[in-house]
Structure 1
Amino acid sequence: MKTVNAIKQLNGTIEVPGDKSISHRAIMFGALANGQTTIEHFSHGEDCLSTIAVFRQLGVAIDVSSDKITVHGTGIESLKQPSTILDVGNSGTTIRLMMGILAGRPFESRLTGDASIQKRPMNRVITPLKTMSAAISAQEGGLAPVTVSAVEAITGINYDMPVASAQVKSALLFAGMQSDDVTIINEKEKSRDHTERMLQQFGGEITIDGLSISITKQPPLQGQNIYVPGDISSAAFFLVAASLLAGSKVTLKNVGMNPTRTGIIDVLRDMGAAIAETSQPTTGEPLSDLTVSAAPLKATEIGGSLIPRLIDELPIIALLATQAEGTTVIKDAEELKVKETNRIDTVAEELTKMGADITATPDGLIIKGPTALHGATVSSHGDHRIGMMLAVAGFIASSPVELEDAEAIAVSYPNFFEHVEQLSK
């Protein structure tokens, strides 16, 4: 249990943790490449550390220090059969992408995770991988633990994605890059493209034509030097907090500005937030310094192709909407139901405890504002993004908030409360 008290304002400059999605993939591509990969500004959240642990079990040497990760890659063919079950902890990215990587390996492996992972749907990855001749079995309902067995060869697939999911897409790309056939993936909406970008950075070959992506067996990948931008999903909590607290001005250094991830910036500006952007030089993903100041806010409607670009930020946007003038509608966001929690129901349930006027719908939320929030005993339900959203709610509440299971925040932002203290002095 952590007590969160109201904050008058936030001022100063911080650098949020490295992007979680990019950190995962840097380890994965570094492990599959030949030669040394160095990763700076890596996310040391528990999810990404789980990915490191999995590859170590597969025989990859990885050195970890506070300022740099070094992956000693010897190529995908060098991965070894693990002697024990691969534990991904709380990381949905790790388990789903690893299924694609392991689908083409000549050995059997088993993947599992914590109680949350064992409730999350895996058939969205298993079903198309089986169509590619992968041998994958799971528990009833397509739940972990998942067993991936050896096959003679992965075959190509022409697959129409039923939902916009970077995890599913990436798993199929990792499998497809091990096949002599061509795999074509057709997206409904553009999802985050970190896998495609990083494959090319490591010397891989991929064809992208609008919403259609083609891949086949890759030439040997070569180790790279990677700088991981700040995670915009982590930055979102301070973008919202500074927007809500009068007199605040916060600069977030080197935040990743991949266009498939910047929906949060578009929505905040549409709602009236004051955000200044200064582009920074980079050899990898685009990045900028973001400076946000408190501003009056108005309601908005969020749906359609915008949803994949801010799916992880919707809980904190819902909190922002409780303080905006008018009725905010979030729709087309069914994907929120299969995150670490059912984030639609969890957001509505927890913010209602604090006095918010918020209603869950089958595909989103309806939030009326502005509404004063008061203290309450609330829970992250083991979901890091729910935990940080409720902490920010505590910053603007009229009385203290008691946050249960606050330690879940360490999954993506271990020093979140340290940064809060730094900015609130």
Structure 2
Amino acid sequence: MKAVRITPNRLKGEVIIPPSKSMSHRAIICAALGDGKSKISNLIMSKDIIATTEAMKNLGVKVIDTKKDDNDKYEITIEGRDDLKVLNEVIDCNESGSTLRFLIPIGTLADDKVTFTGKGKLVERPLDTYYEIFEKQGLNYETDDGNLPLTVDGKLKADKYEVVGNVSSQFISGLLFTLPKLNKASNIAITTNLESKGYIDLTLDMLEKFGIKIENKNYEEFKIDGNQRYTPKDYRVEGDFSQGAFWIVAGLIGDSIKCLDLDLASKQGDKEILEIVEKMGGKIEYKEDGILVHPSETNGITIDVSQCPDLVPILTVLGTFSKGVTKIVNAARLRIKESDRLKSISTELNKLGANIIELEDGLEIHGVEGLTGGVVNSWNDHRIAMALGIGSMKCSGELTIENSSSVEKSYPSFWEDFKSLGGHVHEWNMGE
């Protein structure tokens, strides 16, 4: 386990925002399901993306070429296949919820049974939506009292699928990837209000790029024709607004920061960070080559995060240094992420002098001028580690973040980018 010790300093400069993890998962899966070669470029091979790539390889897909550029971004050439084949019965999803929930229904397209394993909190993250489908369709499955490992034996059938929309959009995306390959038409009926619509938009957009057609009836129902074929395609992954949010907030509470490679026409739900920041009084300039963020005096507002839950840790940091009260609402799903993010981010910031009240489905954040130094822990959660790192700029003394290597899950170069903007970081290995 690693830790970082940060001497507080105002960050300033330019940073190339890493590629979207959400879109990377989706592009790799669509390429893998196409019968032919696709090139996926501008990838960061984080632990989550490696998990998805290895999972598809276990289902018979080949990665026939891998190139790395001068900015440590990868281009991989995938030789997809129309008929999946289980080469290794055990698929290790590591700690990636996207890998697990996307791949479970895809795994049923293969002829043999497949077992999904994972690590950390992923082992106990809920999969009831799929269990109910398996029971309805008569698929054999085994779990460890509802937890991983999960073994599934059988194929999904074309059907009318009823899915709740307020637990995780990943279940719906998993079905959207899979159902077009069945021999008959299916539809998905959403039985509750659909949260995280932006992630469904990303899935539908990627499917369309790879030749799959889905009829979206106002996010209440999705109609999917069967016997569709994925078309191979070369695709470059765009920058990630959920990762860019950390540097956007850094620019607001530190010094001016320009964020490069963010597409303002993106369908990413986390692009909402721009609107939220401007409502709070943040100063943003939109340049031809990037988004320039200036130091700003921000004010607390009420933020509904039902469509952008991944922004909560860094929004909590921003709320901590905003005048008045910031309320984060509709955030109950944050309790079943890599950590209970409502508890983890409020606990660690409060150790440093923040004034955050944890609510059942959100947070009430009372602004403060600054924080003390001290020792905090990431709870093995990449977004908590990064948020605390940005918060260090407003500490009066050194800040030590234990388990800082959790950033490798999504953004392995985070601490290097932090240093490139003037951050004073000392990293060391604490042992197991």
Same fold? TM cut 0.5: yes
Are 2:202 and 2:268, in contact at CA under 8 Å, matched by a contact in 1?
no
After TM superposition, the structure 1 stretch with the greater mean CA deviation from structure 2, 81-90 or 382-391, is: 81-90
Distance of 1:144 and 1:54 partners within structure 2: 16
SS in 2 for 1:17: coil
SS in 1 for 2:269: coil
- Report deviation, 1:292: 1.1
- Report deviation, 1:361: 0.5
Match of 1:349 in 2: 347
- Report deviation, 1:34: 1.2
After TM superposition, the structure 1 stretch with the greater mean CA deviation from structure 2, 403-412 or 98-107, is: 98-107
- Report deviation, 1:106: 2.0
Equivalent residue in structure 2 for 1:196, among 198, 204, 210 = 204
Are 1:357 and 1:371, in contact at CA under 8 Å, matched by a contact in 2?
no
Deviations 1:17-37 (A, max 9, x none): 110011011111111101111
Match of 1:106 in 2: 111
Equivalent residue in structure 2 for 1:397, among 382, 392, 395 = 395
Query: What amino acid is aligned across from residue 322 of structure 1 in structure 2?
Result: T
Match of 1:330 in 2: 328
- Report deviation, 1:359: 0.9
Match of 1:238 in 2: 247
Match of 1:74 in 2: 81
Distance of 2:79 and 2:141 partners within structure 1: 28
Deviations 1:4-58 (A, max 9, x none): 22112312x2212110011011111111101111011113211001111111222
Distance of 1:146 and 1:278 partners within structure 2: 48
Unaligned runs of 5+ in 2: 69-73, 424-432
Deviations 1:142-197 (A, max 9, x none): 2111111123x513124242416321111121332233132223362324121111
SS in 2 for 1:100: helix
Distance of 1:299 and 1:128 partners within structure 2: 43
**Compared with structure 1, are the counterparts of its residues 162 and 196 closer, same or farther at alpha carbon in structure 2 (3 Å cutoff)?**
closer
Larger relative contact order (C-alpha < 8 A, sep ≥ 6)? Answer: 2
**Compared with structure 1, are the counterparts of its residues 110 and 375 closer, same or farther at alpha carbon in structure 2 (3 Å cutoff)?**
same
Distance of 2:6 and 2:133 partners within structure 1: 44
Identical-pair percentage:
27
SS in 2 for 1:302: strand
Distance of 1:360 and 1:42 partners within structure 2: 36
Distance of 2:270 and 2:159 partners within structure 1: 29
Distance of 1:191 and 1:134 partners within structure 2: 31
Count of aligned positions: 408
**Compared with structure 1, are the counterparts of its residues 160 and 122 closer, same or farther at alpha carbon in structure 2 (3 Å cutoff)?**
closer
- Report deviation, 1:133: 4.9
Deviations 1:245-274 (A, max 9, x none): 1x4232332347315332222111111111
Match of 1:2 in 2: 4
Please give the root-mean-square deviation of Cα atoms over the aligned residues, in Å.
Answer: 1.9
Are 2:60 and 2:81, in contact at CA under 8 Å, matched by a contact in 1?
no
Match of 2:376 in 1: 378
Distance of 1:134 and 1:222 partners within structure 2: 29
Query: What amino acid is aligned across from residue 234 of structure 1 in structure 2?
Result: Q
- Report deviation, 1:222: 1.3
SS in 2 for 1:242: helix
After TM superposition, the structure 1 stretch with the greater mean CA deviation from structure 2, 188-197 or 131-140, is: 131-140
- 1:172 paired to 2:175: yes
Are 1:61 and 1:72, in contact at CA under 8 Å, matched by a contact in 2?
yes
Match of 2:366 in 1: 368
Equivalent residue in structure 2 for 1:228, among 232, 237, 240 = 237
- 1:46 paired to 2:51: no
SS in 1 for 2:421: helix
Are 1:248 and 1:294, in contact at CA under 8 Å, matched by a contact in 2?
yes
Distance of 1:104 and 1:57 partners within structure 2: 13
Match of 2:296 in 1: 295
Distance of 1:35 and 1:353 partners within structure 2: 53
Distance of 1:259 and 1:48 partners within structure 2: 18
Give every structure 1 segment of 4 or more consecutive aligned residues whose post-TM-superposition deviation is greater than 4 Å: none
- Report deviation, 1:101: 0.5
After TM superposition, the structure 1 stretch with the greater mean CA deviation from structure 2, 251-260 or 195-204, is: 251-260
Distance of 2:295 and 2:136 partners within structure 1: 51
Deviations 1:299-333 (A, max 9, x none): 01012xxx243210111000100000011111111
Are 2:177 and 2:207, in contact at CA under 8 Å, matched by a contact in 1?
no
Distance of 2:95 and 2:338 partners within structure 1: 8
Match of 1:32 in 2: 33
Match of 1:340 in 2: 338
